[in-house]
Structure 1
Amino acid sequence: MTIIGKQIRIERIINRNTGKTVIVPMDHGISMGPIEGLKDMKSAVQMVSEGGANAIVEHKGLVGAGHRRKGKDIGLIIHLSASTSLSPNPNAKTLVCSVEEAIKLGADAVSIHINLGDDTEKDMLRDFGIITNEAKIWGLPLLAMIYPRGEKIKDEFDVKYIKHAARVGNEMGADIVKVSYTGSVESFKEVVEGCSIPVVIAGGPKMNSDRDILEMVKGAIEAGGAGASIGRNVFQHKNPAKMVQAISSVVHDNMSVEDALKLLE
């Protein structure tokens, strides 16, 4: 029964026809405070749902704040780990929510953040293993956000580190893995080829132009990626709904960057 439950839930966060997804993470409040774009959660969720996002990521305490009684439906992924920018080691993530608690809040899936190479990597991997098992028991899809960040990491966007990160998510039992884009179609193909679960790209810090964002998404899709999980470059955009629509058109409809940019006019 848990297998059937997971299949049903995963279709709430991944488009069943395309096998791809557009996720908008909105879990930044714990790490960064009430940043621009996330002060009014109900409005933020409404705008990205109107644009056609498949799912959002939130921490447990804001689920009610973003709840809507009308408008398009949108998948809910509850984030289970956290740290703040005020910490001596902000890369050290700790569990702040359980799978069972997320289910009680109406989650369609859960997510966890791991920073490979950090001094506390062993603790994060231990937590990852615990959550993987709990998610399997409850039939809840698990999104693993994995980044190479630590003293041994010279360049966190280097393909050798990114494909390692994706493979860790795969081998640990995640259902979807989120990693940084490596900068080119050719290099990102290496990441996708070494991972048997859907791979989505992170959006990272606010980018300089809409074209940069869409070209990154297009490159990931051409490499075989399963979509994008983009936060600040969406909810801090001057028109979040249109930005999601443009990204979704590239991800689900294989639209060109030029045509997607026209949707933003």
Structure 2
Amino acid sequence: MSIIGKRIRMERIMNRATCKTIIVPMDHGISMGPIPGLRDMKSAVQAVADGGANAIVEHKGLVDAGLRGEGPDIGLIIHLSGSTCLSPTPNAKTIVCSVEEALKLGADAVSIQVNLGNGDEKEMLNDFGRISYDARNWGMPLLAMIYPRGEKIKDEYDVDVISHAARVGDEMGADIVKVSYTGSEESFRKVVQGCSIPVVIAGGAKMDSDTDILEMVKGAMDAGGAGASIGRNIFQHKDPKAITRAIYAIIHEGKDVGEAMKYLN
């Protein structure tokens, strides 16, 4: 029964026709506080839903704040990990919610973040294993956000390091893995080829150029990626609906960057 439940929930966070997804993380409040773009959660969710996003990521306490009561439906992924930028160890993520609690809140999936290459890696991997087990028992899709961040990491965008990060998510039982983009279609293809589950790219820090955002998404898709999980470059955009629609054009409609830019002009 849990297998059927997972299949149903996966269709709520991925486009069933393309088997790809646009996920907008909105879980930044714990780590960074009430940053611009996320002060009014209802409006933030409305904009990306109108633009065609498949799912959002939120922490458990803001699920009700993002409810709209109108407009397109959008999948709900509840994030289970947390840490703050105020901590002396901000890369050490701790579990702040359970799979069962997320189910009770109406989640279609759960997500967890693991940072590799630092002194707290073993605790985060231990948490990952436990969450993966619980997610499988409940038929809950699991999105794993895996980043190489710590004292042993010289270049967190190195293709071999990112490939390792994606493979960790795969080996640990995630259903989708989110990693940083490696900078080129050719290098990112190596990441995708080393992973048996869908790979989506992170959006990273806020960019100044819409073209740079769309070229990153296009490169990832041409490399075989399964979509994008972009936060600040969507919800802090001057027009979150339009940039979401432009990303939709690339991911779900197969358009090139020039065609997608038409939604932003």
TM-score w.r.t. structure 2 length? Answer: 1.00
* Distance (Å, rounded) in 2 between the aligned partners of 1:183 and 1:17: 28
Letter matched to residue 149 of structure 1: R
CA deviation vs aligned residue, 1:87-128 (integer Å, no higher than 9, x gap): 001000000000000000000000000000111000000000
Moved over 3 A (4+): none
- Could you tell me which residue of structure 1 aligns to residue 245 of structure 2? 245
- Could you tell me which residue of structure 1 aligns to residue 113 of structure 2? 113
Query: SS of 1:107's equivalent?
Result: coil
* Distance (Å, rounded) in 2 between the aligned partners of 1:208 and 1:186: 24
Percent identity at matched positions? Answer: 74
CA deviation vs aligned residue, 1:28-73 (integer Å, no higher than 9, x gap): 0000000000000000000000000000000000000001111100
- Could you tell me which residue of structure 1 aligns to residue 51 of structure 2? 51
- Could you tell me which residue of structure 2 aligns to residue 98 of structure 1? 98
* Distance (Å, rounded) in 2 between the aligned partners of 1:207 and 1:70: 31
Deviation at 1:146, TM superposition (A): 0.2
- Could you tell me which residue of structure 2 aligns to residue 134 of structure 1? 134
Query: SS of 2:73's equivalent?
Result: coil
Deviation at 1:15, TM superposition (A): 0.5
How many residue pairs get aligned? The number is 265
Q: Which runs of 5+ in 2 are unaligned?
A: none
Query: SS of 1:100's equivalent?
Result: helix
Letter matched to residue 139 of structure 2: G
> Is 2:11 the counterpart of 1:11?
yes
Q: Which runs of 5+ in 1 are unaligned?
A: none
* Distance (Å, rounded) in 2 between the aligned partners of 1:203 and 1:169: 18
Query: SS of 2:110's equivalent?
Result: strand
> Is 2:206 the counterpart of 1:206?
yes
RMSD across aligned positions (CA)? 0.4
* Distance (Å, rounded) in 1 between the aligned partners of 2:58 and 2:42: 12
Deviation at 1:151, TM superposition (A): 1.2
Letter matched to residue 238 of structure 2: K
- Could you tell me which residue of structure 1 aligns to residue 216 of structure 2? 216
* Distance (Å, rounded) in 1 between the aligned partners of 2:208 and 2:49: 24
- Could you tell me which residue of structure 1 aligns to residue 148 of structure 2? 148
Deviation at 1:208, TM superposition (A): 1.8
* Distance (Å, rounded) in 2 between the aligned partners of 1:201 and 1:248: 14
Deviation at 1:152, TM superposition (A): 1.4
* Distance (Å, rounded) in 2 between the aligned partners of 1:236 and 1:151: 30
- Could you tell me which residue of structure 1 aligns to residue 81 of structure 2? 81
* Distance (Å, rounded) in 2 between the aligned partners of 1:44 and 1:208: 20
The 5-angstrom pairing of residues 11-50 of structure 1 reads: 11-50=11-50
Deviation at 1:81, TM superposition (A): 0.4
- Could you tell me which residue of structure 2 aligns to residue 165 of structure 1? 165
* Distance (Å, rounded) in 2 between the aligned partners of 1:19 and 1:69: 27
Letter matched to residue 108 of structure 2: D
- Could you tell me which residue of structure 2 aligns to residue 260 of structure 1? 260
- Could you tell me which residue of structure 2 aligns to residue 64 of structure 1? 64
- Could you tell me which residue of structure 2 aligns to residue 2 of structure 1? 2
* Distance (Å, rounded) in 2 between the aligned partners of 1:262 and 1:104: 41
CA deviation vs aligned residue, 1:163-204 (integer Å, no higher than 9, x gap): 000000000000000000000000000000000000000001
- Could you tell me which residue of structure 2 aligns to residue 125 of structure 1? 125
Query: SS of 1:253's equivalent?
Result: coil
Letter matched to residue 3 of structure 2: I
Query: SS of 1:178's equivalent?
Result: strand
